[in-house]
Amino acid sequence: TQLLEQSPQFLSIQEGENLTVYCNSSSVFSSLQWYRQEPGEGPVLLVTVVTGGEVKKLKRLTFQFGDARKDSSLHITAAQPGDTGLYLCAGVPYSGGSNYKLTFGKGTLLTVNP
């Protein structure tokens, strides 16, 4: 079983549409991160959310951390073709120890058509 479940797996939309992708778990996380990866490139860190209920905005992207720190969402307003890519959520489960194994979801592959 995957510790972080991302949905949807694939999303194809038209330019100008809004969308939300989800990252869910049954585990509590110290923090969650969102990365975007373009084909053949390394993931690029977009944002880190740390506090339950936290909302962060990055231009047209809005990230939210669930109150219980078990889930997160990414909302994109007025999507642009440049938003196309694989969106990955990642986090370290809160264990009270020094476990630094960052676990990644399988990602949401977003295609924004012009």
Partner 1 sequence: DSGVTQTPKHLITATGQRVTLRCSPRSGDLSVYWYQQSLDQGLQFLIQYYNGEERAKGNILERFSAQQFPDLHSELNLSSLELGDSALYFCASSAPGQGKYEQFFGPGTRLTVL
Q: Which is nearer to partner 1, 3 or 13 (CB)?
A: 3
Q: Residue 101 CB, nearest distance to partner 1 (Å)?
A: 5
- Count of residues engaged in binding partner 1, rule: CB under 8 A: 25
Beta strands in the chain (DSSP E): 5-7, 10-14, 19-24, 29-37, 44-49, 55-58, 61-65, 71-76, 85-93, 103-104, 108-113
Q: Which is nearer to partner 1, 58 or 78 (CB)?
A: 58
Distance, CA of 65 to CA of 61 (rounded, Å): 13
Q: Which of residues 72-101 bind partner 1 (CB under 8 A)?
A: 88, 90-92, 99-101
C-alpha radius of gyration, the chain, whole number: 14
> Which residues of the chain form contacts with partner 1 (CB under 8 A)?
30-31, 33, 35, 40-45, 48, 50, 88, 90-92, 99-107
